[in-house]
Amino acid sequence: MARKKIFICDDDKGISEMLEMIFEFIDADTIVETNSLNAYERLRHYKPDVLIVDLWMPVISGDLLIQKIRKDRDLSNIFILCISASRDGRTIALDAGADMFLPKPFDMDDILSIVEDALKIESAN
């Protein structure tokens, strides 16, 4: 069975690196992209099971990336967790098509639990 893939897209390298370390504890490959301009093509290449995406990034915002993914048949089944410190982030993320929203700062156990649950759901399909 192929290993599950988690794709992290956040322009904050500190958060991206921290998330990458957290996901070393589960049996999954982690791909990190800090430049939102590169994210879509890399998503098409890797076809991850889970995407964690920041809402506010330079050039291509998380909500625009989510909308583009949801329109792409090859990527439409990705579980998308949107993270942001924005006050109205939950509404923006869910309206764009995210499966879930987690406000920053978040608890490490919470994000790990969400991703583990998403990977179990994905493997059941």
Give the pLDDT of the chain (125 residues) as one tens digit per residue: 678 999 999 999 999 999 999 998 888 899 999 999 999 999 999 999 999 999 999 999 999 999 999 999 999 899 999 999 999 999 999 999 999 999 999 999 999 999 999 998 665 55
Give, as one character, the DSSP assignment of residue 23.
G
Q: CB under 8 Å to 64, separation ≥6 — which residues?
A: 96
CB-based contact 9:99 (threshold 8 Å) = no
Q: C-alpha distances in angstroms, 87 versus 83, 84, 92, 103?
A: 11, 8, 10, 9
State how far the alpha carbon of 50 is from the alpha carbons of 30, 41, 81, 87, 88, in Å. 10, 15, 8, 24, 23
